[in-house]
Structure formats: C-alpha cells, structure tokens
Amino acid sequence: MVRTLNNMAELRGSRFGRPWPRHGLKLLFWFANDYIVIKNDNQMVANYDPNNGHFGFHHFRNRLECENDVCKRLLPDDGYPFYEVGNLHLIASYSMPKYVRKYNTGDIDTSNMDRLIISMRPDMTVDKVYVTQHEDLRSFDPVNTYRISRELLKILCVNSFTYMSFRNFLEQAGYSTHEPMRYIDQSSSTAQIEFQSPAPRESRDTRIIIEVGPRAPPRAPPRAPPRAPPRAAPGFWESYCTIL
C-alpha cells in the first residue's frame, strides 16, 4: 500500500529528497510548476509528451519484485503506462533547470537517488504522481515510495516562479538551503565552488603529559687561571748565567 502525501507537513515528515545533496524535492517542485498544468476541473495536463523523452522521461516497467516468496509491484497498476524521470546522469536531463541539476556529482551517490514516476492517460492527462528513491542500483525502496496528491501539487504550484518562492518551499519541506562557500580564483575570472569541510574532531588518542622539573640555573663560564706576576728584568748575573 503506497502512502499518499497531502500537505507540506506530510511531505516534510516523509523525509523524501533529504538531506542535501539529494534532488527529489527540487524535482517535485519543477514538475508541479513547469511540467503540468492543473485545470479548473482538477485535472493534471502535461505540457510535454513523456514518450518524446524530454528531460529524461522514459518508460517505467513496474515489474513484479519477489522477496522471501512474496511478490509485489512497486506501484498499484491502474491500467495506464508509467513514466520515470529524475536520472541526472542522462544527457536528456540537461534540459532540466539548473536548480534541479545543481550539485549532482556525476557519481553513484545520494545526489542522484531520487525519482518521480507518473501514470499517463492517452489524452496527455496525468493520472497519478509518485516519488521514490533507489535502494540499490536496480530497485526502488517501497518503504520510501509515496503518492503525491493533487492538493499537494497545488500547494507547490505558484502563479509566478521566483527564486525566493523556491527557497521558501525547500525550507518548509525541511531541506537545508545552505550552499557551499564561493570564492573567486584570482588567476581566473571563473567562479569556483569550495565545499566547507567539517570542523576537525579532537583526537581520541590518549594524551601523555610529561612533567619536567625546574631547569638548573645556567652555569657560570669557567674562570681564567690567575696570571703570574710580571717578572722583573733579569739582572747582570742572571743574564750572565744564561749566556753561559
């Protein structure tokens, strides 16, 4: 049974798309504001055909997964085809806004683990919207898979997209909006990004304190031996005996 998220409090409580650098919340915000239009009859109409592969959309098979003799599908089958998006490693995903792709490392890590899945009717109407996350390279995590209600999508959809509204959404969803420090390389006009390192942790190694006693006073320099008194000039007999 897939749980449905109906408001911001439930989205925040699910912890989907968190913490940084995960991109699932950004993906959901983009989908609500750019990919679909919610009509007055409460129908969600897609602005793009997922069959064309825009933004990296592709078919999701919703295959039967078996574990401990229990077989089930990730999503309930409603008879409509499923489409998946969110793999930032695909070239087609480069057409997504920069704020969605930002901080993707290009590696197999949490910066590319989130996905959005939709079921689509033939008339370009989106039937259901789901969010999920990878639990390994092959499968998604059923425990952390949620359906997004139309009411929540309406909350995410703003009349005019502004950077501040996006920031407010992330804060309300519990996503830290702290960004890495920036610095300018003086040898280049290109902005560089420097990630803050965590504060150094004090070593747990045992510290050995060696007490040193007071130092001995400095030794006085050795005295020069006393000079012998000057001898008197030799007399006649002394000079005479020396000569002899």
Q: What angle do CA 109, 113, 118 make, to 5 degrees?
A: 165
- Rounded to whole angstroms, the Cα distance separating 49 from 85 reads 12
What would the pLDDT profile of 47-105 be if each residue is shown by its tens digit?
999 999 999 999 999 998 888 888 899 999 989 999 999 999 999 999 999 999 999 99
Given a contact cutoff of 8 angstroms between Cβ atoms, the answer to whether 169 and 162 are in contact is no
Instruction: Give the pLDDT score at 202.
Output: 40
pLDDT per residue over 117-159, tens digit each? 999 999 999 999 999 999 998 899 999 999 999 999 999 987 5
Locate the domains of the chain by residue range. 3-179
- Judged against a pLDDT cut of 80, whether residue 240 lies above it is answered with no
What is the pTM assigned to this prediction? 0.72
225 or 63: whose pLDDT is higher? 63
Q: Provide the β-strand partners of residue 133.
A: 114
Q: Quote the strand ranges of the chain, DSSP E.
A: 3-5, 36-38, 44-46, 58-60, 64-67, 70-73, 82-85, 114-120, 125-133, 146-148, 181-184, 191-194
DSSP 3-state assignment of 192? strand
Tokens 């290009």 correspond to 106
What is the longest distance spanned by two Cα atoms in the chain? 146
Task: State what percent of residues in the chain have pLDDT above 90.
Answer: 61
Task: Give me the chain's average pLDDT, please.
Answer: 80
Q: Which amino acid is at 179?
A: E
Closest to 36 in 3D by CA, of 131, 122, 118, 102 = 118
**Could you tell me which residues come within 8 angstroms of residue 185 by beta carbon, excluding any fewer than 6 positions away?**
192
Q: Which residue has the higher pLDDT, 183 or 26?
A: 26
Q: Which residue has the higher pLDDT, 75 or 162?
A: 75
Nearest Cα to Cα of residue 166 among 16, 15, 34, 68: 34
Q: How far apart are CA 127 and CA 121, in angstroms?
A: 6
